[in-house]
């Protein structure tokens, strides 16, 4: 499916990653899910549990991470714009690459779309390398085929070190 075909009013299934390591991360992530669920053109279908994970990048606190599956009637770029607006609503400021943040929302998958533009790549270019994405995603979408590798999420999660991903009880 191309981005243009998403304009025809059809719905698409999407996967997003959520993360936070500043402030009350649990409250922020739960509130962000509520905002997402109330956003026009977005239906929250299912969400994963939350997981504590080590940060990638400069020294910073551990992250609370999870994933959610959405059904949307938005184009990939319109969905990205909505995700960025929600990040901003929760105080996200982009100061340094991979720095600490109040809220991070990443668009991982959009049906079977492969998109490579200056401001958006689908599938997310690093998702297959990141246990903090694959563990919660495998919980809610184990059979979803990542379109570049052609492998199911359940297969991809077996290729990464998951030892630093801890379920929040």
Question: Of the residues 13, 95, 101, 130, which is catalytic?
Answer: 101
Clarify whether 92 is annotated catalytic. Answer: yes
Clarify whether 119 is annotated catalytic. Answer: no
Concatenate the DSSP letters of all residues of the chain into one string. Answer: --TGGGGGS--EEEEEEEEE-SSSHHHHHHHHHHHHHTSTTEEEEEEPPPEEEPPPSSS-PPEEEEEEEEEESS-HHHHHHHHHHHHHHTT----STT---S-EEEEEEETT--EEETTEEES-TTGGG-HHHHHHHHHH-TTPEETTTTEEHHHHHTTS--TTEEE--
Clarify whether 104 is annotated catalytic. Answer: yes
Question: Of the residues 13, 94, 106, 112, which is catalytic?
Answer: 106
Question: Of the residues 47, 92, 111, 130, which is catalytic?
Answer: 92
Question: Of the residues 94, 95, 97, 104, which is catalytic?
Answer: 104
Catalytic residues: 92, 101, 104, 106
């Amino acid at each position: 499916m191309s981005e243009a075909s998403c304009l025809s009013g059809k719905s698409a299934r999407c996967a997003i990653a959520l993360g936070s390591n500043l402030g009350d991360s649990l409250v922020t992530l739960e509130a962000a899910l509520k905002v997402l669920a109330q956003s026009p053109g977005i239906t929250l279908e299912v969400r994963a549990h939350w997981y504590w994970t080590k940060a990638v990048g400069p020294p910073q606190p551990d992250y609370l991470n999870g994933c959610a599956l959405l059904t949307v009637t938005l184009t990939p770029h319109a969905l990205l714009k909505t995700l960025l607006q929600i990040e901003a609503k929760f105080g996200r400021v982009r100061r340094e690459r991979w720095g600490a943040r109040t809220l991070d929302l990443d668009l991982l998958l959009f049906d079977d779309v492969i998109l490579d533009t200056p401001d958006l790549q689908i599938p997310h270019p690093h998702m297959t390398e990141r246990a903090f994405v694959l563990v919660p995603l495998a919980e809610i979408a184990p059979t979803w085929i990542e379109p570049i590798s052609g492998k199911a999420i359940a297969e991809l999660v077996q290729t990464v070190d998951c030892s630093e991903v801890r379920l929040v009880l």
